[in-house]
Structure 1
Amino acid sequence: MTRFIASMVAIFFAVVLAGIHGQETVRTLAHDASVRSVAFSPDGRMLATGSWDNRVTIWDVATGEKLRAMSHDAHVRSVVFLPDGKRLASGSWDNSAVIWDVESGNKLKTFQHDAGLYSVSCSPDGRRLAAGTHDNMATIWDAGGKLRTLHHDAYVCSVCFSPDGKRLATGSWDNSATIWDAQTGAKLATLGHDGGVFSVAFSPDGRKLATASWDNVATLWDAATGQKSVTLHHDAYVQSVCFSPDGKTLATGSWDNSAAIWDVETGKRLKTLHHDAGVYSVAFSPDGRKLATGAYDNKAIVWDITK
């Protein structure tokens, strides 16, 4: 009888936990070290992850199958698919940004820097790559070489092109995010936090900028005026921000072991997703129905956020 009761208790808790987590979890992708970056392919069928294990890994979202892995000489801090879906960019602490062929895993081009990379972003036309580095700079490249270097007073943790490719946003450990003219390098706006800015993201229409900071908040700004509109609070520093494809919601990843989804207009928290450690990276699927998270618990998780 005691054994029967113990079995029933175990089943009960298994069902409860499944109700809490299982309904939302589509796929858990295990790594050998913390997952620093996640990115969906333009068609949503693949997920790329960048990890402290020095690898870029491409996964089949539907099956969880590992399709291929490419190696850097140090940990990988950032991954992003190019718009054609056939190429992938990665940024590593080995001082390089690399463009890879997704199908073969071959290295197509390397952009060498003087310090480790925190972040890479590709322009919407796929012709330029921006990188944020530990030597306090953001650099914009094209196939012919370096186009522009932009300076902060501390290392640059995040870079993001605007949807029209005319602006570049940067987030820095100097407690600021800056919006630049990507063509001329002119500084258009500076947005202040009370801590280092670890992630920046433009809304799909380019009218808003989201910032994630080590002051435990994510902030929404008017990208044209620099006016603050909404502040979103976590219980620890915020590492990542990403707008949904329709621009109506924002995902945040925090060191409080959670990712959250928020209503952009009201600032209301709509959903909270839990990891076993701090969340480094969040990314929406192109259809907005899934969210990928990468965390310090050595896992990337794909969540069904419609449930």
Structure 2
Amino acid sequence: WQPEVAGIPTRVSFEGHSMIGKLSKSPMLGQLLHFSFFWLLTSSSIFFFCINSSGDSTARIWTIPHGHCGSSVQNGPPNSVILKHFKGRTNEKSKDVTTLDWNGEGTLLATGSYDGHARIWSRDGELKSTLSKHKGPIFSLKWNKKGDCLLSGSVDKTAIVWDVRTGECKQQFEFHSAPALDVDWRNNVSFATCSTDNMIYVCKIGETRPVKAFAGHQGEVNAIKWDPTGSLLASCSDDMTAKLWSLKYDKYVYDFKEHQKEIYTIRWSPTGPGTNNPNQQLVLASASFDSTVKLWDVDIGRPLCSFDGHRLPVYAIAFSPNGEYLASGSVDQCMHIWSVKEGRIVKTYSGGGGIFEVCWNREGDKIAACFSNNTVCVVDFRM
């Protein structure tokens, strides 16, 4: 996302592509169509999305043109930079993009692929380096805040910290007994990993053994996230629970058991200590295949409320920058915007496919949603 962008045209038509999907109850600001899809969105100083699944082996950086809601596009469709993960004219499915992350400054983009390579790109699409050591697909990729290290987690059961300046492996961590599904930095030198082996490890650069090993989940651990201060680690699992962990204890601090099916993802609110909204309460959100999103009071370990508006599994959730709203996307083809304070839906957007990722811009007045029909939509949100 570009912070200065004030609006996006109502409808954008792409040469050689037909428009797919339609959003209701709100002006559609833009639709970006790609031939195949991987469901992932991220935000930076420009709008980026990667859609890939059926052998496209590319990622794209889109620069959204200026325009006001309801206006037409004078200069054609958004400009895009194609990041090809293959050479020649034939796409290589083994290079399909699986994950991505911008550095903190929004100047470098890292992508992870099914071929086990991580790649670092400039904003104009130049391949800066290829990081090769994993022996299986990379499922998670994160920059540290300082921007000098990149962390990757792979099906090969290992996590690797890369020296971004040299492109060399700084250290490989081989603690898991099964594929690593997610990784998350605690600070510039320590991080956590989770796996299908039900385990969570907290690691530190330079240490040959885990700082902490967290055992407690009875199913695959799908996602982990440190809170804004780096003092609490949240995790969610196929065992239908979300848990909170602290380095002070060997066992989980809280065990959240309200969901009835697998929990796919979790998100911390951008509120409380360590955020731009320090006077508001810190909460944790969890999204589940039971069609619900739940908010948790992490101070006392109790549920705050349950958002029950979806009819099918919920794959994506994202808090607005001020923490007042939560967007949720589901296989039911709906994206709901919830008032966190009131616990109710304030807006609903309907599309032509299941939604697998949602993302707010930095101003909190636009939301991008990634649909299963190869479409990414940017919609206007103003209360």
8 A contact 2:21–2:351 mirrored in 1: no
1:202 to 263, 268, 283: 268
8 A contact 1:44–1:286 mirrored in 2: no
Measure how far apart 1:225 and its partner are: 1.8
8 A contact 1:87–1:102 mirrored in 2: yes
Distance in 2 (CA, whole Å) between partners of 1:185 and 1:70 is 34
1:215 aligns with 2:290: yes
2:318 to 238, 242, 246: 242
8 A contact 1:35–1:296 mirrored in 2: no
Shift in alpha-carbon separation, 1:285–1:90, aligned structure 2, 3 A: farther
Output one character per residue of 1:193-231: Cα deviation in whole Å (capped at 9) or x when no partner.
101112122222352001111112221111112222233
Q: Tell me how large the CA RMSD over aligned residues is.
A: 3.9
1:268 aligns with 2:268: no
Q: Which residue of structure 2 aligns with residue 121 of structure 1?
A: 184
1:146 aligns with 2:223: no
Measure how far apart 1:139 and its partner are: 0.8
Shift in alpha-carbon separation, 1:243–1:148, aligned structure 2, 3 A: same
Output one character per residue of 1:228-265: Cα deviation in whole Å (capped at 9) or x when no partner.
22333333212343334332233434344565544322
Taking structure 2 as the reference length, what is the TM-score of the superposition? 0.63
Q: Which residue of structure 2 aligns with residue 82 of structure 1?
A: 144
Shift in alpha-carbon separation, 1:215–1:246, aligned structure 2, 3 A: same
Distance in 1 (CA, whole Å) between partners of 2:298 and 2:99 is 24
Shift in alpha-carbon separation, 1:167–1:28, aligned structure 2, 3 A: closer
Query: Match of 1:146, SS?
Result: coil
Q: Which residue of structure 2 aligns with residue 4 of structure 1?
A: none
Q: Which residue of structure 2 aligns with residue 155 of structure 1?
A: 220
8 A contact 1:236–1:256 mirrored in 2: yes
Distance in 1 (CA, whole Å) between partners of 2:147 and 2:140 is 16
Query: Match of 1:119, SS?
Result: strand
Shift in alpha-carbon separation, 1:213–1:38, aligned structure 2, 3 A: farther
Distance in 1 (CA, whole Å) between partners of 2:139 and 2:50 is 17
Pairing of 1:1-307 with structure 2 (within 5 A)? 20=28, 22=30, 26-31=47-52, 32=57, 36-52=98-114, 54-58=116-120, 70=131, 72-102=134-164, 105-112=167-174, 113-123=176-186, 125-143=187-205, 144=207, 145-151=209-215, 152-192=217-257, 193-205=259-271, 207-232=282-307, 233-256=309-332, 261-266=337-342, 267-270=344-347, 272=349, 279=356, 281-282=357-358, 284=360, 303=378
Measure how far apart 1:102 and its partner are: 4.0
Aligned-pair identity (%): 27
Residue type of the partner of 1:268?
I
